[in-house]
Structure 1
């Protein structure tokens, strides 16, 4: 199995699900998935070996991440590079010692 990085996942999503005309749709799906995540958190539904991932916090967190990366693809944002840059600012703002 290939190592999963933010960059790899973002490229995978771009290869399999990229439509410039659907930017509003990706945003609407993100909002929908955030609502589903809220419901899963409210129910404290976590993945277990018997029930699988469907409807769990685990699944909904992935779905949110998926649509964030799909939107990043639409707007040409490299989220892996963005994470490093944003964490540089956070280190200063929050007086963090460790680097990403």
Structure 2
């Protein structure tokens, strides 16, 4: 199953709930999940990192569905076909 199919399956299963919840609730849950991911990374707990990355991705896909955004195409365009890494402030 590719990412577009996963997003579609999530939409079929959860869109009604997401629509009732609203964008601010979905965003708040995303922030909460990112915080939990940060804690897992701080602890270097790989099992928890896997769990929290899954939750973060789920919320990102839920928000993409909520706003009807073709995130997969944009992801490919921006990061696979393009290369924004030249703008990243990385240590040398």
TM class by shorter chain equals: 0.7 to 0.9
Q: Which protein is richer in helix relative to its size? A: 2
CA-CA distance at 1:23 after TM superposition: 1.6
Match of 2:35 in 1: 35
Tell me the distance in 2 between the aligned counterparts of 1:25 and 1:43. 27
What TM-score, normalized to structure 2?
0.79
Structure 1 unpaired stretches of 5+: 48-55, 95-100
Tell me the distance in 2 between the aligned counterparts of 1:59 and 1:15. 22
Give the root-mean-square deviation of aligned CA atoms: 1.6
Deviating above 4 A after TM superposition, structure 1's stretches of 4 or more consecutive aligned residues are: none
Q: 1:89 aligns with which of 75, 79, 82?
A: 82
Query: After superposition, what is the alpha-carbon deviation per residue over 1:67-86, rounded to whole angstroms, capped at 9, x for unaligned?
Result: 00000001111121111221
Structure 2 unpaired stretches of 5+: 87-92
How many residue pairs are counted as aligned between the two chains?
82
What TM-score, normalized to structure 1?
0.73
Tell me the distance in 1 between the aligned counterparts of 2:12 and 2:34. 24
